[in-house]
């Protein structure tokens, strides 16, 4: 199953001597799909080029941030210009205010926002804040949802862990996860049950409003509305983890697309335009509990870093000024969806394509995929063969059936046609 080039194989062998597993984030190692990861040297627009200069049409887009394609000119120029003014001060800047004001103007129900350096930090901090604000300890998360790698979230946490079939995580103590309650995605009754069994003890319900860490999974009608009304009834904070969906599904993210109000929202990925950035925000009365205003502690030496801020600001401003980008993303993804559905049908194997906006994924399943169990019982071995065939043909899909694909505006009609043709060729030969 080694489809990769000599340079990537050599680099992977070398990497494993000094980096655990040869990678700095587990899914990159291709363990689930087998074979050798492809080492990249550069990217531009819709294309990445590996160490041997082979070109790939990219459907990962750095797991989301490259919404406008790689090396987007204005973002690159802004980073270059700012770098000359020093790369960090450890003191406040006007740029941070501009970034906060921009986020507040785009994101519904966000009165105040604090910048951090990753989605993990954003979710970890939002949960701490929810606990501090409500004075309660427990929280509900959904099976297959990923909220970063903070201890309390590493329970039934989708993608990376599902890819490696990690059930319990060594190093996470029972104490750290005993307040984590889990329910199946899209199962409102299970949530009602947990709430009844833990009256007055639940601080928050955290959810990916469109899930992307078990493939793409869409909330069924009424589910989010139900969560909102349970939270209102019980004094529980609803946290939308919009690390994937924020600024991707719409300028106002999933809150805007689904028409559901969250109490706290976490952001990452797109918000940094490719730099390491995250953020959490929400209602003013909740956010005022954070230090130095309140006593819920949260901090970061490089938080609000000027290079990260100018990259993120330039990205978000482009999105705010060009709402047509979202129409374009939706149309491109629709085209991909329709073409893939036609192409894969040739194989005569059951499959399901889930899509919401510019998030899309393929599960080889004979029934609808609406939760983690559905995703896990699909024919993921067949997905792995599909992945490698596509990779050979220069189409770079996420290396796991538990990941959503991310579409960018850089993809042309020709790129989509080439992708569909590759899928058709694979399906025809199966
Ligand atoms: C990627 C992701 C995170 C974690 O973000 P990092 O920047 O990788 O720490 C959290 N939540 C969701 C929904 C994600 O997709």
Q: Quick one: 14 and 84 in the same domain?
A: no
Decide if 411 contacts 47 (C-beta within 8 A).
no
Residue in the block written with tokens 């078990």: 214
Task: Decide if 407 is inside a domain.
Answer: yes
268 lines ligand 1 (CB under 6 A): yes
User: Does 328 reside within a domain?
Assistant: yes
Rounded to the nearest angstrom, the distance between the alpha carbon of 151 and the centre of ligand 1 is: 14
Phi first, then psi, for residue 202 (nearest 5°) are -100, 120
Per the listing, tokens 């700095």 go with 24
Examine the domain organization and report whether 31 and 152 are in the same domain. no
Is residue 208 in contact with ligand 1, taking CB distance under 6 Å? yes
Q: Pick the residue whose CA is nearest to atom 14 on ligand 1.
A: 243
**Roughly what angle, to the nearest 10 degrees, separates helices 73-83 and 306-321?**
150
pLDDT at 1: 42
User: From residue 36, how far is each of 13, 39, 53 by CA, in Å?
Assistant: 9, 9, 16
Domain containing 343 — which CATH number?
Answer: 3.90.1150.10
CA dihedral sign, ordered 337, 339, 345, 347: negative
Beta-carbon contacts of 366 under 8 Å, excluding residues fewer than 6 positions away, are: 350
DSSP 45: B
**Residues 6+ positions from 340 with CB-CB distance below 8 Å:** 353, 362, 419, 420, 423
My answer on whether 12 and 118 are in the same domain is: no
Say yes or no: 141 and 167 in one domain: yes
- 206 and 196 in one domain? yes
Assigned domain for 1 exists: no
In 70-179, the DSSP E strands lie at: 112-116, 138-142
The CATH code of the domain that includes 267 is 3.40.640.10
Domain boundary among 254, 289, 321: 321
- Residue 46 shares a structural domain with residue 91: no
**Catalytic residue list:** 146, 241, 269
Q: Which atom of ligand 1 is nearest to the CA of 242?
A: 13
Out of 158, 244, 406, give the residue to mutate to test ligand 1, the one with the largest number of ligand atoms within 8 Å of its CB. 244
Residues 389 and 362 in one domain: yes
In a domain, 150, yes or no: yes
**In this predicted structure, what is the pLDDT of residue 168?**
75
Asked whether residue 238 is assigned to any structural domain, the reply reads yes
Could you say which of 321, 336, 362 is where a domain stops?
A: 321
DSSP annotation string for 11-48: HHHHHHHHSGGG-SSGGGG-TTT-S-PPPEEEEEBTEE
Cβ pair 416, 405 in contact under 8 A: no
Give the total number of structural domains in the chain.
Answer: 2
| Stated length of the chain | 430
> In terms of domains, do 26 and 163 share one?
no
What are the angstrom distances between the C-alpha of 348 and each of 351, 367, 392, 400, 430? 9, 15, 22, 22, 9
Residues 80, 45: Cα–Cα separation, whole Å:
18
**What 3 state SS string does 179-198 have?**
CEEEECCCCHHHHHHHHHHC
Mean pLDDT by 10 residues, the chain (430 residues): 71 96 92 92 98 97 97 98 97 98 98 98 98 98 96 82 68 89 97 98 98 97 98 98 98 98 98 97 98 96 98 98 98 98 97 98 98 96 97 97 97 98 97
Of 321, 338, 369, at which residue does a domain stop? 321
If asked whether residues 299 and 351 sit together in one domain, one would say no
Would 11 be classed as within a structural domain? yes
Residues 215, 346 within the same domain: no
The answer, yes or no, to whether any atom of ligand 1 lies below 6 A from the CB of 163, is no
Task: Flag whether 275 is in a domain.
Answer: yes
List the domain range (segments joined by +) for residue 43: 6-71+323-429
Q: Are residues 317 and 342 in the same domain?
A: no
Q: Do 379 and 421 fall into the same domain?
A: yes
- Is 209 inside any structural domain? yes
């Amino acid at each position: 199953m080694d489809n990769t080039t000599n340079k990537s194989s050599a680099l992977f062998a070398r990497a494993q001597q000094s980096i655990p597993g040869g990678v700095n984030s587990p899914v990159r190692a291709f363990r689930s799909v087998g074979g050798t990861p492809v080492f990249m040297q550069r990217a531009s627009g819709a294309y990445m080029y590996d160490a041997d200069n082979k070109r790939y049409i990219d459907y990962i887009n750095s797991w989301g941030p490259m919404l406008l394609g790689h090396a987007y000119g204005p973002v690159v120029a802004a980073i270059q210009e700012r770098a000359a003014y020093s790369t960090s001060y450890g003191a406040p800047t006007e740029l941070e205010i501009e970034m906060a004001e921009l986020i507040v103007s785009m994101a519904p129900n966000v009165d105040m926002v604090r910048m951090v350096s990753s989605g993990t930090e954003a979710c970890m901090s939002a949960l701490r804040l929810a606990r501090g604000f409500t004075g309660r300890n427990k929280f509900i998360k959904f099976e297959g949802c990923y909220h970063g790698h903070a201890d309390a979230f590493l329970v039934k946490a989708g993608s990376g862990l599902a890819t490696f079939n990690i059930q319990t995580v060594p190093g996470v103590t029972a104490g750290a996860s005993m307040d984590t309650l889990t329910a199946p995605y899209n199962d409102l009754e299970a949530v009602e049950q947990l709430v009844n069994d833990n009256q007055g003890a639940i601080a928050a319900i955290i959810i990916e409003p469109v899930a992307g860490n078990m493939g793409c999974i869409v909330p069924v009608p009424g589910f989010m509305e139900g969560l909102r009304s349970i939270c209102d009834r019980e004094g529980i904070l609803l946290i939308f983890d919009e690390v994937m969906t924020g600024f991707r599904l719409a300028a106002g993210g999933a809150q805007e697309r689904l028409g559901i109000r969250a109490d706290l929202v976490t952001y990452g990925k797109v918000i940094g335009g490719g730099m390491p950035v995250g953020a959490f925000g929400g209602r003013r009365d909740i956010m005022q509990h954070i230090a130095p205003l309140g006593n819920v502690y949260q901090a970061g030496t490089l938080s609000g870093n000027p290079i990260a801020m100018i990259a993120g600001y330039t990205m978000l401003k482009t999105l705010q000024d060009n709402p047509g980008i979202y129409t374009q993303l939706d149309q491109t993804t629709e085209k991909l969806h329709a073409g893939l559905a036609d192409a894969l049908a040739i194989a005569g194997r059951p499959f399901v394509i889930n899509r919401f906006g510019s998030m899309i994924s393929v599960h080889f399943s004979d029934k609808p995929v609406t939760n983690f169990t559905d995703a896990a019982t699909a024919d993921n071995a067949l997905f792995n063969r599909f992945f490698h065939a596509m990779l050979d043909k220069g189409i770079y899909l996420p290396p796991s059936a538990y990941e959503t694909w991310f579409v960018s505006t850089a993809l042309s009609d020709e790129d989509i046609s080439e992708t569909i043709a590759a899928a058709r060729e694979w399906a025809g030969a199966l």
